[in-house]
Structure 1
Amino acid sequence: MNTAVKEDSISLNGARVLVLGRSEAVLEAVLGELTALGIDAQGTAEPEKAPERYDARNYDLIALGRGLLGEAGQSLKAQFRERNADVRFLDTYAPFAVYEIATALECSYPPNVDLEPYLARIGREGPVAPTLETLKELHERHPDAIPFEAIDVLLERGVNIAPDAVEDKLVHGRRGGYCFEHNGLFKRVLEAIGFHVEGLSARVRWNAAPGTAPQPYSHMALRVVVDNVPWLVDVGFGGCVLTTPLRMDTIEPQATSHETFRLIPFGPGMLLQMWIDEQWKPVYELSGEPRLEGDYEVANWYTAEHPDSHFRRNLMVARTTTEARYTLLNGRYTVRYSDGRTHREVLEADGIERVLADTFQLPVQPDWRPMIERAALLTER
Structure 2
Amino acid sequence: MNKRYSGLLASICICLCFLISGCADGQFGFTFNEDGTITQRNSLQFQQGFKDLGNYFGQSNEDFILEQKQEDSQNGFSIEDVQNGYTATKTITLKDLAGLKIFQPGENTAGVQVKKGFLYDYYSIDSYLKGQYQSLPQSNYAANIPSYFSPNMPVNIWDYMEYRKQAEAEARQLDEISNQMIKAAISSMNLNLVINLPYEVDSSNADNLTNGNKTLTWNLKPAVFDGKDLSVQAKFKIYHEKTIIGLIVVGSILLIVAIILLVLGFVKKNSTKQSVFFIVAGIIIVFLGCFGVYVNYNIKHPPVLTDADKLVVVAEKSMQKSEEPEAKQQKNAQSEDVLTKANNVLQNKNSEYKLSAVSKIDYCEPHTCDFNHELGEQNSQRI
Fold-level similarity (TM above 0.5): no
Q: Which has the larger radius of gyration?
A: 2
Report TM bin, short chain: under 0.3
Give the TM-score taking structure 1 as reference length.
Answer: 0.22
Give the TM-score taking structure 2 as reference length.
Answer: 0.21
Q: State the structure with bigger RCO (CA 8 A, min sep 6), 1 or 2.
A: 2
